Amino acid sequence: MNQRLEDLAILGGKPTFEHQLHVGRPNIGNRDFFLSQVNEVLDNRWLTNSGPKVNEFERKIEEYIGVKHAIAITNGTVALELLIRAAGIKGEVIIPSFTFVACAHAFQWQEIKPVFCDIDPNTHNIDPLEIEKHITPNTTAIMGVHLWGRSCNIEVLEQISKKHNLKLMFDASHAFACSYKGKMIGNFGIGEVFSFHATKFFNTLEGGAIVTNDDELASKIRLMKNFGFQGYDNVTYIGTNGKMNEISASMGLTSFNSIDSFIAKNKENYYLYKNEFDKIDGIKLIDYSDSERNNYQYIACEIEEQKFGMSRTELIDILIKENILARKYFFPGIHKMEPYRSLYPYSSMFLQETEKLANKIISFPTGTAMDYNSIMLVTNLVSFIHQYAGEIKNKLQEAYVS
């Protein structure tokens, strides 16, 4: 643990961690089970195209979420594109800017205009009170993103979409195994999308799923993810290749076996971080509601520069030198990235809360790769940095000038 300023790696000391700590370090379930599944896949000589592992994985998701249809897809981004296209969303769609860039790409890729709406600073999710000012005659849909796994204000979004005859869909990439008012996420809107990317707490290497209770929409997506084939030689619809392969589904089945322990570990990590960060002025970890099911997969904090003593960016620069790869999810906001910055240059006017949050958010490493000792080292270091923030900044300034 750093006792002196000179011990900080940014000031010439040895990094706290020999190896890098990552925010998205994958959770790996039972290796033997996974390898036995892979062996079965190889023995079957059925590697993709709705094989037995994908079918089993889809039925497991349906059962877990209590939803009628789960369609396993190559990744979360293609899943979004497919749901958007199958639902006939066109023109303009209202989405938050404070999220991962794929949320906008999935629309813009299909020449649908993403219209960026501000967030509620308390929830980090799309602010329902801001939505109506963005509705135009071209608006056809709203997409909420359950950021950090905390659900959007679904009830109010349903009211708004109903009032204006808009489709409502959700990006639930962060919210697998989470609930809203006791009902599992995945049951809302016309459909919802999960990401099972390696960095998600529940992974299929790469992967995603579309879940819906709409039979017609589900059949359409099943066709579209397989080039529109309805049986051999018969294409009935424009489609793409969005199929999950059998090895990814095997990883999904493996992740299912450990899902409770992954969540328990994330929860334990979350409360360790919370306990320590609550003692430090100027750093606030997001809350998860005790009355909902949560996966606790993000240790997302806000840094109040005045109280903490330095900015989020200054803190991250110091942590990276210590081999703690904390991230600025989701800086700077999609509207400030290309092509959106050039296409929609006036978006900033409506995104004050998004911009404020993007400048103070920081995500810390968690998951099964983190243990008690490493979390205590991280939190003690953050506490030390806070305590000596002024001195550290002066020393960095001196080093910069000389």
Rounded Cα gap, residues 3 and 255, in angstroms: 41
Q: Left (φ > 0), alpha (ψ -120 to 50) or beta: where does 233 sit?
A: left
Choice between 174 and 312, CB closer to ligand T4K: 174
User: Binding to ligand T4K by residue 102, rule CB under 6 A?
Assistant: yes
- Other CB atoms within 10 Å distance of the CB of residue 88: 12
Q: Whole-number minimum distance, CB 281 to ligand T4K, in Å?
A: 28
- The CA-based diameter of the chain, rounded to the nearest angstrom, is 72
Residue 227 zone, left/alpha/beta (φ > 0; ψ -120 to 50; rest) = left
Tokens 């997001």 found at: 286
Residue 124 as a binder of ligand T4K (CB under 6 A): the answer is: no
Q: What's the closest the beta carbon of residue 26 comes to ligand T4K, in angstroms?
A: 5
Q: What is the Cα–Cα distance from 271 to 275, expressed in whole angstroms? A: 6
Cα–Cα distance list, 262 to 113, 153, 185, 328, 356 (Å): 37, 26, 18, 23, 32
- Cβ proximity to ligand T4K: between 97 and 195 the closer is 195
Nearer to ligand T4K, 298 or 384 (CB): 298
- Name the token pair of 124: 């980090």
The residue within the footprint of ligand T4K, chosen from 13, 15, 26, 121 (CB under 6 A), is 26
CB of 99 to ligand T4K, least distance (A): 5
In this complex, which beta carbon is closest to ligand T4K, that of residue 140 or of residue 323? 323
Give the residue with the Cβ less far from ligand T4K, 29 or 76: 76
- Give yes or no for residue 363 binding ligand T4K (CB under 6 A): no
Give the integer Cα–Cα distance in Å for 25 and 231: 40
| 23 touching ligand T4K, by CB under 6 A | yes
Single residue of 2, 27, 77, 248 touching ligand T4K by CB under 6 A? 77
Smallest separation, CB 363 to ligand T4K (Å): 9
Question: Which tokens belong to 321?
Answer: 């030198």
Q: Which of 9, 24, 277, 333 binds ligand T4K (CB under 6 A)?
A: 24
Q: How many residues bind ligand T4K (CB under 6 A)?
A: 23
The reply on whether position 75 binds ligand T4K by CB under 6 A is yes
Interface positions, 142-201, toward ligand T4K (CB under 6 A): 145, 171, 173-174, 195, 197-199
Q: How far is the CB of 103 from ligand T4K (least distance, A)?
A: 5
**65 touching ligand T4K, by CB under 6 A:** no
Q: Binding of ligand T4K at residue 320 (CB under 6 A)?
A: no
Burial of 378 (0-12, 13-18, 19+ CB in 10 A): buried
319 binds ligand T4K (CB under 6 A): no
CB of 102 to ligand T4K, least distance (A): 4
Non-local (6+) Cβ contacts of 122 within 8 A are: none
Q: Who's near 326: CB < 8 A, 6+ residues apart?
A: 23, 315, 316, 319, 320, 362, 363, 364, 365
Which of 253, 223, 256, 258 has the alpha carbon at shortest distance from 241? 223
Find the length of the chain: 402
Does residue 25 belong to the site contacting ligand T4K (CB under 6 A)?
yes
User: Of 13, 15, 17, 22, which lies in the binding site for ligand T4K, with binding defined by CB under 6 A?
Assistant: 22
181 burial via Cβ count (<10 Å: 0-12, 13-18, 19+):
exposed
In whole angstroms, how close is the CB of 185 to ligand T4K at the nearest point? 13
Nearer to ligand T4K, 193 or 280 (CB): 193
Q: Which residues of this protein are in contact with ligand T4K, per CB under 6 A?
A: 22-26, 75-77, 99-100, 102-103, 145, 171, 173-174, 195, 197-199, 208, 325, 329
